[in-house]
C-alpha cells in the first residue's frame, strides 16, 4: 500500500478505538481523500455530525452519501482529520496547497483532537520549502503583495480563487523558524484573511505513513 493509504489507515485505527458517537470534521487533500473514501464509510454508524472544510471535500462526501452539516461548526468537534503540505519537528504545519486553509483552520479550532495524516515526504526540519499560502481580499491584493515582499521577493498569484472567493498568494523561499510568531505577524496585516501556517491550531497527533506501516508522533 502507499504511504498515504497507510497514514489514512492509522487514523482509522485511532478513531476506531474511541468509543461512542462522534462529531467529525474532514479536511482537504489527497491523503484525506483516501481516508474519506476507504475508511470513513466504515465509521458511518458512529458519526453524529459531519463537517466539511471545502467544496472539493463536500462533493466527495456527497458522492459517498454522507449527510453534511452546513456552515461552520457551532459545537466542539470530537475529531478533525486533515493532511498537510509540510510538518516540522514541533508539529507546526503549512497547509493550503488546495486553497482551503481558511476553512480548515476554522474547523480545526473547533476540534478537541486534530489528527494530521501525511506521507513521509511532508516531514521537514523547518517550514517554508513548500510555498506558504496566504488568502487575501481582492481589493487589497496589490498593497498586501508589496508588504509581503519584505519577507520574500517571490510572491505569486494563483490563477483561481479560494472557496471563499478571495485571492490566493504563495510565498516562495521562506524559512519559517518561528511559526507561531510568523502566523501572528502575517495575520496582523490588514486585508489578509488567513495564512497557511498552523501553529496556533497544530495537531495533537501526526500519523506518518511509510512503505509498510505508519508511525504516530504526538505533541
pLDDT at residue 97 in the model: 92
Average pLDDT over residues 178-202: 97
Q: Are residues 119 and 22 in the same domain?
A: yes
User: Total domain count for the chain?
Assistant: 2
* 139 and 41 housed in the same domain: no
The reply to whether 17 and 97 lie within a common domain is yes
Q: Is 104 a catalytic residue?
A: yes
Same domain for 14 and 113?
yes
Residues 67 and 137 in one domain: no
Confidence of residue 219 (pLDDT cuts 50, 70, 90): confident
Q: Are 44 and 74 members of one domain?
A: yes
Q: In terms of domains, do 170 and 206 share one?
A: no
Q: How far apart are CA 98 and CA 144, in angstroms?
A: 21
What grid cell was written down for 130? 513548500
Q: Which of 3, 104, 135, 194 is catalytic?
A: 104
Instruction: Supply 77's cell numbers.
Output: 468537534
Mean pLDDT of the 137-165 span: 95
Whole-angstrom distance, CA of residue 99 vs CA of residue 121: 20
Same domain, yes or no: 116 and 203: yes
Q: Per-residue pLDDT tens for 47-106?
A: 999 999 999 999 999 999 999 997 778 779 999 999 999 999 999 999 999 999 999 999
Residue 38 sits in a domain whose CATH number is 3.40.50.1360
Query: Is 182 a residue whose pLDDT tops 80?
Result: yes
Residue-wise pLDDT tens digits, 100-129: 999 999 999 999 999 999 999 999 999 999
Q: What is the arithmetic mean of pLDDT over 7-23?
A: 96
Helix (H) or strand (E) holding 197: strand 197-198
* 1: pLDDT strictly greater than 90: no
pLDDT at 147 over 90: yes
Residues 159 and 113 in one domain: no
Q: Do 139 and 76 fall into the same domain?
A: no
Can you say whether residue 165 is alpha, beta or left, with left for phi > 0 and alpha for psi between -120 and 50 degrees? left
**Domain span holding position 40:** 3-124+199-218
Amino acid at each position: 500500500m502507499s504511504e498515504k493509504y497507510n497514514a489514512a489507515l492509522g487514523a482509522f485505527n485511532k478513531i476506531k478505538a474511541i468509543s461512542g458517537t462522534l462529531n467529525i470534521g474532514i479536511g482537504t487533500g489527497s491523503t484525506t481523500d483516501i481516508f474519506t473514501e476507504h475508511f470513513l464509510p466504515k465509521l458511518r454508524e458512529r458519526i453524529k455530525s459531519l463537517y466539511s472544510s471545502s467544496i472539493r471535500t463536500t462533493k466527495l462526501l456527497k458522492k459517498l452519501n454522507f449527510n453534511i452539516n452546513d456552515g461552520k461548526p457551532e459545537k466542539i468537534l470530537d475529531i478533525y482529520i486533515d493532511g498537510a503540505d509540510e510538518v516540522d519537528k514541533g508539529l507546526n504545519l503549512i497547509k493550503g496547497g488546495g486553497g482551503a486553509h481558511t476553512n480548515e483552520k476554522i474547523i480545526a479550532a473547533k476540534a478537541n483532537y486534530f489528527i494530521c495524516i501525511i506521507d513521509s515526504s511532508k516531514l521537514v526540519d523547518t517550514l517554508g520549502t513548500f510555498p506558504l499560502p496566504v488568502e487575501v481580499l481582492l481589493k487589497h491584493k496589490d498593497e498586501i503583495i508589496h508588504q509581503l515582499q519584505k519577507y520574500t521577493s517571490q510572491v505569486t498569484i494563483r490563477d483561481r480563487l479560494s472557496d471563499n472567493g478571495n485571492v490566493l498568494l504563495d510565498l516562495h523561499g521562506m524559512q519559517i523558524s518561528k511559526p507561531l510568531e510568523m502566523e501572528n505577524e502575517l495575520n496582523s496585516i490588514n486585508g489578509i484573511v488567513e495564512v497557511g501556517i498552523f501553529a496556533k491550531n497544530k495537531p495533537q497527533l501526526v500519523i506518518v505513513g511509510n512503505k509498510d506501516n505508519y508511525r504516530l508522533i504526538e505533541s
